């Protein structure tokens, strides 16, 4: 199994769910950054990111979300984060990101928050 995987699912209303799995670090963050940049370029600014399969995140990984949320919100979109594990959530907490990002426990709640 690769160290890092991104699955992309398009929903109605211009919403995309990204499911990321594995290890998001200084080696793999560029893959996620490019995926999000490509979505923005195609006019998709409403994203839900399913973190339930993410085993690990470092500051480089969290930085991808910091860099992206402003652009999403400027374009009437948002980035909703879904079901992070305790260790992943701890990194968001320590970086003060838990006040900036909306966390949801289910796909339905995440999608609802974007509509």
Partner 1 sequence: MGLGYAESQVALRGRLFKTGITVSSQPASLSLVRDFIGRVTERLQMPRGEAGQCVLAVDEAVANIMEHGYGGVSDAPIEIDVEADSACLRIVVRDEADTFDPLIVPDPDLPRHVAMGRNRGLGLFLMRRMMDEVHYRAGEPIGNELTLIKRFHRPVRCAF
Residue 79 CB, shortest distance to partner 1, in Å, is 12
The token duo for 84 is 């992070």
Would you give the binding string for partner 1 spanning residues 12-51, x where CB under 8 A is met?
-----------x-xxx------------------------
- How far is C-alpha 47 from the chain's CA centre? 7
Helix (H), strand (E), coil (C) string for 4-43? EEEEEEEECCCEEEEEEEEEECCCCHHHHHHHHHHHHHCC
Using the rule CB under 8 A, is 71 a contact of partner 1?
A: yes
Would you give the binding string for partner 1 spanning residues 74-103, x where CB under 8 A is met?
------------xx--xx--xxxx--x---
Count of all residues that appear for the chain in the document: 115
The token duo for 34 is 């490019």
Residue 34 CB, shortest distance to partner 1, in Å, is 13
CB-CB contact of 83 with 53 (8 Å): no
Residues that bind partner 1 (CB under 8 A): 3, 23, 25-27, 56, 58-60, 62-64, 66-67, 69-71, 86-87, 90-91, 94-97, 100
């Amino acid at each position: 199994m690769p160290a890092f995987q991104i699955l992309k699912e398009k929903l109605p209303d211009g919403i995309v769910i990204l499911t990321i799995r594995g290890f998001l670090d200084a080696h793999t963050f560029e893959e996620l950054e490019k995926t999000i940049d490509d979505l923005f370029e195609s006019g998709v600014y409403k994203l839900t990111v399913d973190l339930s399969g993410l085993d690990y995140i470092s500051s480089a990984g969290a930085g991808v979300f910091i860099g992206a949320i402003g652009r999403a919100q400027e374009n009437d979109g948002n980035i909703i984060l879904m079901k992070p594990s305790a260790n992943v959530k701890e990194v968001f907490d320590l970086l003060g990101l838990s006040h900036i990002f909306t966390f949801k426990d289910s796909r339905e709640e995440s999608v609802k928050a974007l509509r």
